[in-house]
Structure 1
Amino acid sequence: MVTEQHIEQFKQELLELKQELQQSIELAQDSAETVELDQTKTGRVSRGDALQQQEMAKAGLARDKQRFLNVIKALNRIEDDDYGFCMECGEPITVSRLEIMPEAEFCIQCMEKQER
């Protein structure tokens, strides 16, 4: 069961994670911008590599943006006294799951059901 002490600890972790994700998103947005290459000076391999790097940056940016939103939701659940309970079944989320993923919205069982 999640105690008030756990909630305070998770809140601090979420606030730190929020800040880290904000910085990561800001940095990644530059990397995900459109690649403009001078084809007369850049070979086919270099263009392909640059495009691959851009796609990887876009994927990382999308992942970070989604996690950022999940962190915001978790902080809101703390403020609303709903933190630590599964959004699907209403049962408590285990402390061990929240230690790994403090922004978790679902218990393991409900998450597994959603993934199927």
Structure 2
Amino acid sequence: MDDLNPIQIAELRRRIEDELAELKALSEAGSEGSRPVELDQQSVGRISRMDAMQVQAMALASQKRRTARIDGLKSALGRLSEGEYGYCASCEEPIAFGRLKADPMARLCLACARLGET
């Protein structure tokens, strides 16, 4: 397996940066759904309030997943800058370009990832 070439690295960097920008925009737009649910029983019935609390919980869970993805993508950018991107964290062999295209945060080659599953 070969190391990544400069064109592949540029493509992956662009993909990571684009996804980061999209996730940050979604995080800013999604902050409204995670606001506390008001207790005013006069304007909102009990069932409606329960629905609002469920929507709030889903918004918070989505935000948590977005934050984790943002952190992972930032880490991948850091590895790119340090020249460590694209190498397996376990065996230190190059990670296939197709795997990195599918998940730019991948830290393990396919063989090591499969070993970890068992």
Task: Output the TM-score relative to the length of structure 1.
Answer: 0.88
2:28 partner amino acid: E
Report the alpha carbon displacement of residue 7 of structure 1 after superposing the two structures with TM: 0.5
Structural mapping, 1:7-86, within 5 Å: 7-86=9-88
Question: How has the CA–CA distance of structure 1 residues 55 and 102 changed in structure 2, closer, same or farther, with 3 Å as cutoff?
Answer: same
Report the alpha carbon displacement of residue 104 of structure 1 after superposing the two structures with TM: 1.6
CA RMSD, Structure 1 to Structure 2 (Å): 1.7
2:19 partner amino acid: L
Deviations 1:26-71 (A, max 9, x none): 1222211211141122122211110110111011100000110111
Question: How has the CA–CA distance of structure 1 residues 88 and 56 changed in structure 2, closer, same or farther, with 3 Å as cutoff?
Answer: same
Structure 1 residues not aligned, in runs of 5+ = none
Match of 1:98 among 88, 97, 100: 100
In 2, the alpha carbon distance for the partners of 1:33 and 1:57 equals 9
Question: How has the CA–CA distance of structure 1 residues 73 and 47 changed in structure 2, closer, same or farther, with 3 Å as cutoff?
Answer: same
In 1, the alpha carbon distance for the partners of 2:77 and 2:91 equals 20
Task: Output the TM-score relative to the length of structure 2.
Answer: 0.87
Q: Specify the SS of the correspondent of 2:68.
A: helix
In 1, the alpha carbon distance for the partners of 2:54 and 2:109 equals 36
Structure 2 residues not aligned, in runs of 5+ = none
- 1:88 paired residue number: 90
Identity %: 34
1:74 partner amino acid: A
2:9 partner amino acid: I
In 2, the alpha carbon distance for the partners of 1:34 and 1:43 equals 16
